[in-house]
Amino acid sequence: MPGFELFGNAERESVNDVLDNGVLMRYGFDGMRNGHWKAKELEVELQNTFQTNHVQLVSSGTAAVSVALASAGVGAGDEVIMPTFTFVASFEAIMMLGAIPILVDIDSTLTLDPKAVEAAITPKTKAVMVVQMCGSMGDMNALKSICDNHNLIFVEDACQAIGGTYDGKPLGSIADVGCFSFDFVKTITCGEGGAVISNNKDYYINADHYSDHGHDHIGNDRGAETHPFLGYNFRISELHAAVGLAQVKRLPEFLVIQKKNFDIIRNELASIPEVEFRTVPDGGVESCAFLNFFLPDLDTVRKVSKAFKTNGVDACFHYYDNNWHYIRKWDHLKKLKSLFPITKEVKEGLQYLEGKTFTQSDAYIARNISCLIKLSWTEEQVVERAKVMRDCINEVLNS
C-alpha cells in the first residue's frame, strides 16, 4: 500500500517548487508564491480522482474525520456508530468533538454489519461511520438506506481504501462525507495530510472554514477576513501538499502494481480449500492494498502467523493480538485513560464498553490474517512470497 515506497523525482521537484519561493503556507502571500498553490492544485486533482464536487485538504486523516463530523454538525453527546475493527484515530476523532463512538460488530466484509448498525440506533444517534479497514467495504447500499431511513449522516473513513470502488464510484465518495489520510503509510502520502470530500456544498464550506480558525476565505487580505463561526487549525502545509500532488498523479500506476501483486498471492492461496477470502459485496472492487483471508480457527491463525514470521513473510497482521486495530486490546479506551477531564456526556456514553464483549467480531478477527501488498516487490519476490505463504499454511493445516 505505501506510496512512500516509490518516492522519487516527481515528489522532489514538487517540493522544490515550494522551497524556491519559500511560501510554506497554503493561504495568502499571493505575490510571493510565483503561482504555486500546491494545496489548491491537489484539491482539484482529488476532485477528479474521487469524482466528487468538493475537497478540503487538512493536516491528517484523524483531522479529516473530526472536521467531517464537525462540518455535518456532530458534537457533544451525539452518538456515532462505527465498527469494532478500526483504527484508534477513528474513535479519537469522534471523542475530540465530545461525541460518543458506539462500536458495533463487523461481519465477513470486515466492516459494519448492517444488522448491528440497525440494532445500535438510539434517539442520540447522529451518524454512522463505516471504516473501510484494509480497503474493505460493507454492504454500502444497505448502510446507506439505514441512514436514509433514520435520517442519519453517513460517513466513510476511507483512509485505507484509496482506489477501491463500489458500484463504479470511488470509496469515500458514496456517503454524505468521506475522509482520507495521506500519512506516511497510506497508498499515496503527503508525509502527513488528509482530506474531507463531499458533494454537499454546505459541509464543504464548513470544512474549509473550520479547518482554518473559522476564516471565511473571502478576498485576498487574510487580516480582513471574518469568522462566521468558531474554528480550529487543521491546515495542511504547502510542503506536504506538494508531495501529495506528485503522488496523486502516480496513483493509477500504484493501483496497477498493487493489483498485480495481490492477484499473484490470492491465486496461490486460493488453491487451499480452508482459505476463505474476505467478503467483497456485490458491486465492490478492492483497491488491493491488502489481502485479507480467514483460516478455520484462532489456533491455526496463530501458528500460521508464527510460521510466516519464521519464514520471512513480513507485513502480515493478526489483528486479534494487535494493539492498533481491534477493540480487544483497548483498555485505554474502555477505562477512559485521559490526560484531562473528559466531558460528562462522553464518560456516561462510553460506560457501555465496560465488560462488553463482541463475540461476532471476535470470531472474524480471530480467524483473519491481513497482508499488506507492497509496491516495491519485484514479480519474482511476490511469486516466491506467495509460495512460502501457501507452504506455511499447508504445513500448519496438515500438522
Ligand X SMILES: *Cc1c(COP(=O)(O)O)cnc(C)c1O
| Residue ranges that bind ligand X, judged by CB under 6 A | 60-62, 87, 89-90, 131, 133, 157, 159-160, 181, 183, 194
| Grid cell of 33 as nine digits | 508564491
Using the minimum distance from each CB to ligand X, give the nearer residue, 193 or 349: 193
Task: Cell numbers for 284, please give them.
Answer: 465492490
Nearest distance from C-beta of residue 42 to ligand X, angstroms:
15
Q: How far is the CB of 278 from ligand X (least distance, A)?
A: 16
14 or 187: CB nearest ligand X: 187
Nearest approach in angstroms of CB 389 to ligand X is: 24
- Expressed in angstroms, the distance from the first to the final Cα of the chain is 33
What single string gives the DSSP state of each residue in 204-228? HHHHHHHTBTT----SS-GGG---S
- The residue nearest ligand X at its CB is 61
Cβ nearer to ligand X, comparing 182 with 320: 182
Nearest to 196 by CA among 239, 158, 143, 237: 158
| Interior angle at CA 279, CA 48 and CA 183, nearest 5 | 45
Q: Kindly tell me which of 171 and 295 has the beta carbon lying closer to ligand X.
A: 171
Query: What span, in angstroms and rounded, lies between the C-alpha atoms of 89 and 345?
Result: 20
Least Å distance, CB 386 to ligand X, is 25
Strands 368-372 and 290-294: antiparallel
CA–CA gap between residue 90 and residue 350 (Å, rounded) = 15
- Whether the Cβ atoms of residue 311 and residue 297 lie closer than 8 Å to each other: no
Pairing of the two strands 153-157 and 100-104? unpaired
Which of 89/152 has CB closer to ligand X?
A: 89
Query: Closest separation between CB of residue 300 and ligand X, Å?
Result: 27
CA distance 352 to 69: 22
174 versus 392: smaller Cβ distance to ligand X:
174
Tell me how far, at minimum, the Cβ of 236 lies from ligand X, in Å: 11
What pairs with residue 181 in β-bridges? 194
